[in-house]
Amino acid sequence: MKNLKRQWKFIVVLIAGAVGLISQFALHSKSLFSIGNLQFPVHAIIIDIIGILMAISLLLEIFHDWKTGRYGVDILAVIAVVSTILIGDVWAEWMILVMMTGGETLEDYATGQANKELRALLDKTPRIANKLVDGKITEVKVDDLQVGDTVLIKPGQQVPVDGQIVKGTSSFDQSSLTGESVPVTKNPGDELMSGSVNGDVAVEMKVTKAAKDSEYQSIVALVKSSQAQPAKFVKMADRYAIPFTVISLIIGGVAWAVSGDATRFAEVMVVASPCPLLIAAPVALVSGMSSMSAHHIIVKSGPTLEKLARAKTFAFDKTGTLTENQLIVDQVVTDDKSFDQKELQSLAASVEQQSSHVIASSLVKATDKDLIHPVTNLKETTAQGVEGDVDGKHVKVGKLSFVAPGHEKLNVTSTAVYVSVDGKFAGYITLKDKMRPESPKTIERLRRQGAEDIMMLTGDHKQVAEKVAKEAGITDVRSELLPSQKIQDIKDVPKHLRPVVMTGDGVNDAPSLTAADVGIAMGAKGATAASESADAVIMVNDISKVNDAVAISKHTMKVANIDVLTAIGVVIIIELIAFTGVIPAFWGAILQEVVDMITISLGLLAKTKPSDKQFGLEEK
C-alpha cells in the first residue's frame, strides 16, 4: 500500500507539471493574485499546492522516523521545496518534486517486489481427513479433528495431523519435514507427523494433536510469524544524513548571512536537494538484482543484497541442498566367500528392479544394466523387503530381520540393505547421499569470501550428517533437528557473527529461511514453500550460485557506497558554487538532473562482473 502511495505521488507530480505547462504556455495563464512581489498564476498555484502537500506528507514521515530514532536526508528536500515556493521559482520547485517522488518510486521498484510467501505452503496444507466412525469413512475438515479420533491414511496421502498408528505398517516420506533422504517405516505404536506422505499401505491412526498444534501446521504458523516481523532496513543514504544535512544548512545559512538575500539560501538548498543520494543506492541495487538474474538467482528485495554482502555465518540444509537428494552405493560388504562384491550387488539389484522404494531405485540406478538379470517368483513383504529367484538362486533383500534372522547384532550405522542367497546371509550394501560435486568447493570459496562460521542444520541421523559434513568440509554439524530447533539454532547465532544466511530446499526449511537474515532457496524444481519464503531463489540446480550471490552483493554494495559518496561530494561542490550566487534556483535544479545522471551511470556499474576475489576464486 505504501509503494502504491509513492507511485501515485510521482504520477500526480507529473500531471501537475503537464497541466502547469499547458496553463502557462498554451493558455497564457494570468496571475490570479499577488503577495508583494510574488505573482501567483494558475500553473504556480497548481504546483505550489502539490508542493505544499508533498512537503507536509514528507514532514509527517520525518517526524515518524525521528520517533523511531532514524534521521534521514529528507529534511533537505522539504527545505528545498519550501524555499522555492517562497522565492516563487515554480519550475525549480517542480523539478525537485519530480526527482524526490521519482527517486522514491525507483527505490520501491528495487525493494518492494511483494511476494506471496505462504502460497505454496498453504496450498499443501492438509484440509480434508478420512475419519473412521463405526468402521465407515467420513470426510471431515482437518480443523474439525479431535484428539482421540481415528483416521484412515490411504497410500500416497498426506498425514493430516499428528497421531499414532493403531493398525497397519507402511513407509512414510518425511523428507520435506525432517530432511531424512530415506522413507521411514512406521509400525503400530509409532508416531506420525502431519505433512509426511504415506507409502504403499493404508494405515489407521489415532489423533494425538489437534490441527493447530500439529507439526506441519506449526511450520505454517512459524512462517507467518517470521513474515509478520520483517527485518528493518535503513536507507544507505541515511548513514550520511546528519553530517550532510548540517554541512548543507551551514553553507546555505552562511550564503544568506553574507549576501543578505534569502534567495541565496534557497539556491543552495535547491542544489542540496538529496535526490541524487536517494536515487544512488536504488539504482545500484536494481543493477545488482539484474546481475543476479543473469546468474540465475532471483532476489526479491534490495536489502537482501546488503545483508548478503555483510554475511558472516552460512547455514545449509543437507538433503537436496549439499546433497542431490539421491542415494548412491557406498560399500558392498560380503559375508560369503562364494560371492564377490560385484555379484552380490548384481543379485540385489536384480531382485529390487521392480520396486519403487527409493533405496531400491537408487541401488538399481547405481548398478550396471548388464549386471541386472531377470527375476522370477518375485514377492514383496511390506516394510520388510523383497525376494525372488535370480539365475537359479533364491535371493532376499531388505531388512536384516527379514533377510537373516539371528544376525541382528550386526552394527551398521549407515543406510543399508541386507542380502541372503539360498537362505544364507551373504552380506550387505550401504548407501549414502550423493554429494553435489560443487558443494566442497562452495564451502571453501565461502570461507575465502569472508564467512566466519559455516554450519549444517539437518533432521537426518548424526552419523549420516557427519559423513556428509566431512566430505563437504563443514565442521559445525547440527543433526536430528526438527524445524523449530533449526530456527532456534539460527536465532542463537551471536550478534558478532551476523548476518546469517540459510540455504535450503524443503518445506521443513521454510521457517528457517524466514528466521535467517537472508534465506536462499534451491528452487530449480519449481515453486516450493522454501522458495516462496526465501529472500533469494537459485533457479538452477547448482549450490555454487550461493558464491555468485555473495560476490554480486559485495560488488553491488561497493558500487552503491562509492555512488552515494560521489553524489555527496559533487553536491557539496555545487553547493559551494551556489554559495557565490552564480547558479539561479532553476539552473540549480537542472544541475541536480546532471548529478542524477552521473549517479545513475555509476549505479549501473553494479551490473559489471565482480572481481575474482569477490567470487572467492583468489587465495586470501
Q: So which residues are the catalytic ones?
A: 317
Q: Bridge-partner residues for 163, per DSSP? A: 192, 207
The conformation of residue 615, written as its DSSP 8-state character, comes to T
Q: Cell 492438509 identifies what position?
A: 126
Distance CA 209, CA 514 (A): 25
> How many residues appear in the chain?
620
For residue 90, what is the enclosing H or E element? helix 90-111
Helix ranges (H only) for 404-538 are 439-448, 462-472, 483-491, 510-515, 529-533
Contact yes or no for 399/169 (Cβ under 8 A): no
Nearest of 481, 568, 31, 1 to residue 248 by alpha carbon:
568
Q: Cell 547421499 identifies what position?
A: 433
Phi-psi domain of 356 (left: phi exceeds 0; alpha: psi -120 through 50; beta: other): alpha
Q: Which three cell numbers stand for residue 470?
A: 566431512
Nearest of 453, 444, 438 to residue 619 by alpha carbon:
444
Task: State whether the Cα torsion 435-441-446-451 is positive or negative.
Answer: positive
Burial class of 559 by CB neighbour count within 10 A (0 to 12, 13 to 18, 19+): buried
CA atoms within 13 A on the CB side of 157: 19
Nearest of 111, 387, 80, 140 to residue 231 by alpha carbon:
111
Report how far Cα 178 is from the mean position of its chain's Cα atoms: 20
Residue 259 CB partners (closer than 8 Å, separation 6+):
581
Contact yes or no for 603/562 (Cβ under 8 A): no
CB atoms < 10 A from the CB of 549, how many? 25
